[in-house]
Amino acid sequence: MATRIPTAAELHRQATLEAFSTKLVELLKKHKMTEAELARKIFGEKPTARGGTEAIGRDRINLYTHGKQLPSPDVAARLSAVLGFDFDSILSTDTEDIKPLDYTIIRLPWPDNRQLLRMSAAAPSDVIARLIDLVEAMFKKANLPH
């Protein structure tokens, strides 16, 4: 089975999700605020059948804190206002300067036509681990030392 390598945009999105969720959790702790309390301040509250109230959008805040979803620009602005942190630097979508993969092939002066491959990749550690596994499997299949 072929291993799919993520694109630069996918790697950037994953890094953005992780950075956003980490910062949001840090700010919740700093302000000693629960997800429900933050949801109340951002989205409001609604009455319950038992006569109390519950936070609207707590499930959305949970998605943000667990790195599953990014907020809309409007919600990010409200989060910034409530928590006193500008999330724009984290939510930047500029991927122009991201080089996810850079490699050089050097032809070696050996009779068996070997080449040296040097590669660097900007990727999450699990992707790098899968790449290493893939290369090792290819070396093993070709009976090459590794």
- Indicate whether 66 and 26 sit together in one domain: yes
CA distance readout (Å), 99 to 11, 56, 69: 10, 40, 24
- Which conformational region is residue 20 in: left (phi greater than 0), alpha (psi within -120 to 50 degrees), or beta? alpha
- Indicate whether 64 and 17 sit together in one domain: yes
| Spatial CA neighbour of 83 closest among 46, 45, 39 | 39
Structurally, the chain folds into a number of domains equal to 2
Q: How confident is the model at residue 85 (pLDDT cuts 50, 70, 90)?
A: confident
Does 96 reside within a domain?
no
- Indicate whether 34 and 82 sit together in one domain: yes
- Indicate whether 78 and 114 sit together in one domain: no
Is the pLDDT at 33 greater than 70? The verdict is yes
Does the predicted TM-score (pTM) go above 0.85? no
Is the pLDDT at 19 greater than 50? The verdict is yes
Rounded Cα gap, residues 89 and 47, in angstroms? 36
Rounded Cα gap, residues 100 and 96, in angstroms? 11
| pLDDT on residue 98 | 47
Pairing of strands 115-121, 45-47: unpaired
Does 31 reside within a domain?
yes
Question: Which structural domain, as residue segments, surrounds residue 70?
Answer: 8-89
Q: How confident is the model at residue 104 (pLDDT cuts 50, 70, 90)?
A: low
- Indicate whether 60 and 126 sit together in one domain: no
Query: Which amino acid belongs to residue 144?
Result: L
CATH of the domain at 57: 1.10.260
Do residues 12 and 99 make contact, with C-beta atoms less than 8 angstroms apart?
Answer: no
